Amino acid sequence: MNKKVVTYLTAMLLCAASFWAIGDRQTTTVQAATHTLTKTVMHNAQAYSRLGKKVKGSYPAFSTIIVDDQLVIIGTQPHAPYYKIANKKRYIKASNIDGVKRKLTQNSYVYVSSRQKAGTKVIKKGSTITTYGSAYRFKNGQLYYRVSGPQRQYIKAKNLGPVTGSSTEETTVTVINSRGTAIYKDEDNIDTINKRVKKGTKFRVDRCEEGSRAEYIENIIGQFVPNAVIYRIKGTTHWLWGLDVKANKKLPVHDYNAENFTYIRFNQDVNVYNADGTMQDHHGQKIRKQGGSFKVNKLLYIWVPTENKVELFYHLVGDEFYSTHPEVSEKIEVGDAYVKQNEVEFFLGIKLKPSNTVQDALNQAKQNNSN
Same domain, yes or no: 225 and 312: no
CA distance 312 to 300: 6
Query: Which strands make up the sheet holding 345-349, listed edge to edge?
Result: 338-340, 309-316, 294-304, 262-265, 345-349
Reported confidence tier of residue 150, pLDDT bands at 50, 70, 90 = low
CA distance 296 to 314: 6
- Could you tell me if residue 36 is inside a domain? no
CA distance 148 to 133: 12
Same domain, yes or no: 156 and 106: yes
Same domain, yes or no: 357 and 293: yes
Domain boundary among 233, 255, 277: 255
The pLDDT assigned to 229 comes to: 95
- Could you tell me if residue 129 is inside a domain? yes
The pLDDT assigned to 225 comes to: 85
- Find the range with the poorest average confidence among 11-20, 124-133, 197-206, 266-275: 11-20
The pLDDT assigned to 151 comes to: 77
Same domain, yes or no: 229 and 213: yes
- Could you tell me if residue 24 is inside a domain? no
CATH of the domain at 108: 2.30.30
Say if CB 297 and CB 318 are below 8 A apart: no
Q: Rounded mean pLDDT of 114-131?
A: 92
Does pLDDT of 140 surpass 50? yes
Expressed as residue numbers, the domain containing 189 is 170-255
Say if CB 311 and CB 304 are below 8 A apart: yes
Same domain, yes or no: 152 and 223: no
DSSP letter for each residue of 191-225: --EEEEE-TT-EEEEEEEEESHHHHHHHHHHT---
- Could you tell me if residue 240 is inside a domain? yes
Same domain, yes or no: 56 and 104: no
Same domain, yes or no: 245 and 174: yes
- Could you tell me if residue 33 is inside a domain? no
* pLDDT tens-digit readout, 50-101: 989 999 999 999 999 999 999 999 987 878 899 999 999 999 999 999 999 9
CA distance 20 to 235: 34
Same domain, yes or no: 250 and 289: no
Does pLDDT of 304 surpass 90? yes
Query: Which strands make up the sheet holding 100-104, listed edge to edge?
Result: 153-156, 143-148, 128-137, 100-104, 160-165
Reported confidence tier of residue 367, pLDDT bands at 50, 70, 90 = confident
Regarding pTM above 0.95, the answer is no
Same domain, yes or no: 294 and 361: yes
Say if CB 264 and CB 353 are below 8 A apart: no
CA distance 274 to 302: 9
* pLDDT tens-digit readout, 240-258: 999 999 999 999 999 999 9
* pLDDT tens-digit readout, 211-231: 988 998 898 888 888 889 999
The pLDDT assigned to 21 comes to: 32
* Residue closest to 113 by CA, chosen among 140, 131, 133, 95: 140
Does pLDDT of 5 surpass 70? no
- Could you tell me if residue 2 is inside a domain? no
Domain count, the chain: 4
Does pLDDT of 3 surpass 90? no
Domain boundary among 255, 286, 312: 255
Say if CB 48 and CB 55 are below 8 A apart: yes
- Could you tell me if residue 28 is inside a domain? no
DSSP letter for each residue of 67-122: EESS-EE-SS-TT-EEEEBTTSS-EEEGGGTT-EEEEESS-B--BSSSS-BS-SPP
**What torsion, rounded to 10 degrees, do the Cα atoms 33, 38, 39, 45 define?**
80
Same domain, yes or no: 142 and 205: no
Same domain, yes or no: 312 and 355: yes
Same domain, yes or no: 281 and 324: yes
The mean of the pLDDT values for the chain is: 88
Domain boundary among 203, 235, 255: 255
Rg, Å, the chain Cα set: 25
* pLDDT tens-digit readout, 173-215: 999 999 999 999 886 667 677 788 999 999 999 999 999 889 9
